[in-house]
């Protein structure tokens, strides 16, 4: 398969997987509080809905461990195809669930179980898509090519938001709550079927083939990654804490904040996320390519600083209620996430040897996302309820920005380094100087 087709398949699979994951976030912000957690208090219902949203993140490190082992022992392709199937199945079943009014407490219990399966699937998928792209890329274009897997996040967010926006505009509120919300989930089975079929044409990456032809795969890649690369795993996790926190602030929490706290139209908030997702889709490959030219660290550090600062004017703009200001607040925030997210696939591929690359990248990524992204909507909602102010919420984002900044400062540059397949301990890419500063 040509490199062009490989990148298209990696990006498409990533987009569909993230579409499945994000429609849950949109539904949690807009309808699950009413349908699965009818408490009478919309804020309490939202807190409960966001709690189940966080459950998916809690399961992601488990998915990273399971499919990290599969990806390093058996191959990138089998792990990737399996995660796609698991994600599509669990998402479709959510669209078939009875609500609380029909089966009582069994409804939210089933919802939580399916969200756990979604988390396991996406926990194993990211590294597969990232490595399919980066391990097939030339060193001088690894940031650009790796970004093709990353744009799947923007595409998935766009698709999830767009489908909810279209369905919401076509149906009245009663029909939307009765059955319309199910449509985005049921669409998943068709999308995943197409993506799974396309992934069967993929070939195994060259570094993985070299591992098989050399000393062979690690018998316990997860243990090897944690024991011999623990420092790199932790630094990788720390580097992306701000990504999860900022992304889910702008892409999920603000949907609820804007509609329930500020009383803004749901369509306006969805439009803002939609526009931001489109701009982010364009910005991610640009930032990936920029990291090929000036280094991963410089782009990462710029993004962490920008995200820590922008959150303050973003909340002030939202408070004006002006449609233009709301769109700017959300869209700029999502674009700034691209500064950190664009080079991420290349950075994580360069941090680990091929024997444990799937495991190390998965565990590091999922830990960082768990810390930064899992609880951001829940923490933000709780902080606002407790204080009645956005200041603590913005402070939380600033704290994650500082954490990521420190982690990347400690790292050494990895751009243009060779992706080796031999054994390497924790004197690896996290501590060696390679490429541009």
In a domain, 117, yes or no: yes
Please tell me the predicted confidence (pLDDT) of residue 424.
46
> Could you tell me the CATH number of the domain that includes residue 39?
1.20.1250.20
Listed range (2-11, 216-225, 355-364) with the worst mean pLDDT: 2-11
Q: Which residues fall within 8 angstroms of residue 21, CB to CB, at 6 or more apart?
A: 56, 87, 118, 122, 156
Residues 6+ away with beta carbon under 8 Å from 301 = 405, 408, 409
pLDDT in the model for residue 301 = 96
Alpha-carbon distance 416 to 437, whole Å?
Answer: 11
Predicted pLDDT at 427: 47
With respect to residue 338, please indicate whether it lies within any of the assigned structural domains.
Answer: yes
Cα(277)–Cα(145) distance, rounded to whole angstroms?
19
Can you state the angle between helices 344-351 and 230-239, rounded to 10 degrees? 170
Residues 350, 64: Cα–Cα separation, whole Å: 18
Tally the C-alpha atoms within 13 A of residue 162's C-alpha that lie toward its C-beta.
13
Stated as kind and residue range, the H or E segment containing 429 is none
Is residue 3 pLDDT above 80, yes or no? Answer: no
Structural domain including 246 reads 3-202+217-410
Give the model confidence (pLDDT) of 265-276 as tens digits: 988 998 999 999
**Rounded Cα–Cα distance for residues 120 and 110 (Å):** 16
| Arithmetic mean of pLDDT, 236-262 | 91
3 state DSSP class of 96: coil
Tell me the two tokens of residue 130.
């990232």
Residue 149 included in any domain: yes
Residues 402, 386: Cα–Cα separation, whole Å: 24
pLDDT digits (tens, 9 = 90+) for 137-188: 888 999 999 998 899 888 888 898 889 889 988 998 889 889 999 999 999 8
The answer to whether the CB of 9 falls within 8 A of the CB of 133 is no
In a domain, 431, yes or no: no
Distance CA(414)–CA(398), nearest Å, equals 26
| In-domain check, residue 212 | no
3-state secondary structure of 413: coil
Instruction: Find out whether 186 and 92 touch, Cβ atoms under 8 Å.
Output: yes
Cα dihedral across residues 230, 233, 235, 238: positive or negative: negative
Q: Total domain count for the chain?
A: 1
Q: Which of 237-251, 277-291, 333-347, 413-427 has the lowest mean pLDDT?
A: 413-427
Residue 312 falls within a domain, yes or no?
yes
At 1, is the pLDDT very low, low, confident or very high (cuts 50, 70, 90)? low
- For 229, the enclosing helix (H) or strand (E) is none
Q: How far apart are CA 272 and CA 139, in angstroms?
A: 36
Residue bearing tokens 């966001």:
50
Does residue 421 form part of some domain? no
Structure tokens at 388: 């009645």
**226 in a domain, yes or no?**
yes
Sign of CA dihedral 381, 385, 389, 393: negative
Q: What is the pTM of this model?
A: 0.83
Q: Is the four-CA dihedral 142, 144, 147, 148 of positive or negative sign?
A: negative
- Distance from C-alpha of 177 to C-alpha of 28, rounded to nearest angstrom: 13
């Amino acid at each position: 398969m040509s490199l062009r087709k490989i990148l298209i398949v990696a990006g498409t699979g990533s987009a569909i997987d993230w579409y499945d994951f994000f429609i849950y976030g949109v539904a949690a912000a807009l309808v699950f509080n009413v349908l699965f957690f009818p408490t009478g208090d919309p804020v309490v219902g939202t807190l409960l809905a966001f709690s189940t949203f966080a459950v998916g993140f809690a399961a992601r490190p488990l998915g990273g461990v399971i499919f990290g082992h599969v990806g390093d022992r058996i191959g990138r392709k089998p792990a990737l195809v399996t995660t796609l199937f698991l994600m599509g199945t669990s998402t479709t079943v959510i669209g078939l669930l009875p609500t609380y009014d029909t089966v009582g407490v069994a409804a939210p219990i089933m919802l939580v179980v399916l969200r756990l399966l979604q988390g396991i699937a996406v926990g194993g998928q990211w590294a597969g898509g990232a490595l399919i792209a980066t391990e097939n890329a030339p060193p001088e274009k690894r940031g650009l090519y790796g970004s093709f897997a990353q744009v799947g996040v923007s595409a998935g967010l766009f698709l999830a938001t767009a489908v909810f926006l279209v369905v919401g505009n076509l149906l009245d509120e009663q029909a939307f709550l009765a059955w319309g919300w199910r449509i985005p989930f049921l669409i998943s089975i068709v999308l995943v079927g197409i993506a799974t079929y396309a992934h069967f044409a993929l070939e195994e990456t060259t570094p993985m083939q070299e591992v098989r032809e050399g000393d062979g795969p690690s018998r316990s890649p997860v243990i090897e990654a944690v024991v011999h690369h623990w420092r790199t795993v932790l630094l990788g996790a720390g580097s992306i804490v701000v990504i999860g926190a900022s992304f889910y602030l702008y892409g999920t929490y603000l949907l609820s904040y804007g509609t329930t706290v500020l009383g803004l139209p749901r369509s306006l908030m969805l439009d803002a996320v939609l526009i931001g997702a489109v701009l982010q889709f364009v910005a991610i490959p640009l930032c990936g390519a920029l990291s090929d030219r000036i280094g991963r660290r410089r782009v990462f550090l710029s993004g962490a600083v920008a995200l820590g600062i922008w959150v303050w004017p973003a909340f002030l703009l939202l408070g004006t209620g002006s449609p233009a200001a709301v769109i700017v607040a959300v869209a700029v925030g999502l674009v700034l996430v691209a500064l950190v997210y664009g080079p991420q696939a290349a950075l994580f591929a360069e941090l680990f040897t091929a024997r444990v690359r799937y495991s190390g990248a998965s565990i590091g990524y999922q830990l960082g996302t768990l810390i930064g992204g899992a609880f951001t909507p829940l923490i933000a909602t709780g902080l606002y309820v407790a204080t009645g102010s956005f200041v603590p919420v913005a402070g939380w984002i600033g704290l994650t920005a500082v954490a990521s900044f420190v982690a990347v400062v400690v790292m050494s540059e990895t751009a243009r380094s060779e992706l080796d397949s031999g054994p390497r301990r924790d004197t690896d890419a996290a501590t060696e100087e390679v490429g541009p500063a």
